[in-house]
Each structure stands twice: as C-alpha cells, then as structure tokens.
Amino acid sequence: MKQEQLKAQAAAKAVTFVADGMVLGLGTGSTTRYAVDMIGEKVKSGALKNIVGIPTSEATARQATAWGILLGDLADYPRIDLAIDGADEVSPALDVTKGWGGALVREKLVEMHAERLVIIVDSGKMVEKLGTRGPLPVEVTPFGWQVQARWLAEKLGCRVERRETDGEPFVTDNQNYILHCFFPGGIDDPHAVHRALAGRTGVVGHGLFLDMVTDVIVAAPSGIRHLRRA
C-alpha cells in the first residue's frame, strides 16, 4: 500500500473524532492536509456545523479558508477541543518530533492548548528513540543564528545545519530561521534537551513535543492502530 494511502487512512480515522461545535487545532504537513480536506468537505456539505479552526500555519489557513472553514485565533479561543496534526517521529511513550514542515512554533503554541491532541502517521514514523529518522528542528531568530548553531553543537553534542531552500535560508511564518540538529544515535534524553533549549535566549522553539500527545493514529498495510497515552 502506498504511503499516501496510509496517510489518508490515518487522517480519516482522526476526523471521526470531530463533532459539531468544536474548536479545532488544524495542523500542518502532508498528512494533515488530508484531514483538513476531509473536515472541509464535511463543513461544505453541512455534515459538520459550527466548527472553528485554529490554523498552525499560513498554508493551513489558506487551505481551510478555501473550504469555507471559519477560522479563529488563540486570543478569542484559548481552549481548543481537539487538535489534529502529523509528526516526523513517534516514540513508544507517544512523545513526538515535529517541524520538518517548518511550522513547529505555531503548531506547539496551538496544540499546547488542546484538550486532546491526535497525531496521525504512517507506520514508518514509529521509532524506538527520537532523533533517529532525521534532525530535530530548532527555530531561532535570524540575528545571531551563527552563535546559536555553535552553542547547539557544543551544548547538545549534535551536528547543526541551517535549513535552506535553493541556497537561501528557509524562513518560517514567524520570519525566523530553522537549524537542523542531527544527533548521532538519536536523542538519549529528550527532556534534558528540552530544558536546555527552553532557557536559551534567541531560541524561539523546538520540535520536541513531550507529554502533549493524547492519541496516535498509526496506519499500516495491516490496518489502523489507535494508541492512547496512559
């Protein structure tokens, strides 16, 4: 079964949790696009009513608006009933890494206010240790990014690369840069990395989403699994 089919299956399962009147956190990325389209189709047909979406990126906002999904923000809707998003990695503890799509700060800001955070992935995203499939994204201010890169390498023992597109710095919706941190053998202590990054001036956010996820929908050729945090 193709990966895109698995993504769509995971998204379809997550959308079954959406009910009339909900405030929804709308994630960003290739898997979540399926979920936003499915929600939009239900809103357009009248199968879902009184839905408010809180988008985690400008791209998601444009997609939702095209379907006629009413959008809001955290100022007016500080409590979110349900957020649906993808992930780059999912650990056995249901902690995840996110941010390869470049929207990690807005994703975390929205999803930390969600009563329920449902992550949708194909089975290839399941890992024994975070940081083994690819880099941990860290969003930093453009001012002083070189200093941050050196500090990250020295403090965390990782290899650091600035994310670029066609030779130019990738710029987030927040007008910041992203540094990709590659950990040989993965991240041994995600909480220690979180604490180090949380106290660093100029680091705007990072892609470790720890103790946040309530549900993970995993699509595999053998079927759908629904994992829940204990």
| Residue 228 belongs to a domain | no
**Whole-structure pTM value:** 0.95
Question: Which CATH number does the domain housing residue 197 bear?
Answer: 3.30.70.260
Candidates 45, 44, 46, 53; CA nearest to 22 is: 53
**Residue 188 vs residues 89, 97, 137, 159, 185: alpha-carbon distances, Å:** 14, 14, 16, 15, 8
20 and 120 share a domain? Answer: yes
Please say if 58 is a catalytic residue. Answer: no
111 and 34, same domain (yes or no): yes
Exactly one of 4, 58, 89, 107 is catalytic; name it.
107
In the predicted model, is pLDDT for residue 168 greater than 90? yes
Residues 17 and 97 occupy one common structural domain: yes
Model confidence at 230, pLDDT cuts 50, 70, 90, reads: confident
Residue 37, in any domain of the structure: yes
Task: Answer whether residue 230 is part of any domain.
Answer: no
Check whether residue 119 and residue 167 sit in a common domain: no
Query: Is residue 93 domain-shared with residue 78, that is, in the same domain?
Result: yes
CB half-sphere exposure, 215, CA atoms < 13 A: 20
Q: What is the end-to-end Cα distance of the chain in Å, rounded?
A: 30
Residue 28 is predicted with a pLDDT of 97
Q: Check residue 116 and report its DSSP letter.
A: -
What is the number of structural domains in the chain? 2
Residue type at 101?
G
The token duo for 227 is 């994992």
User: Rounded mean pLDDT of 113-138?
Assistant: 97
Regarding whether 150 and 76 lie in a shared domain, the answer is no
Residue 107 lies in a domain: yes
Residues 198 and 216 occupy one common structural domain: no
Strand duo 203-206 + 136-140: pairing: antiparallel
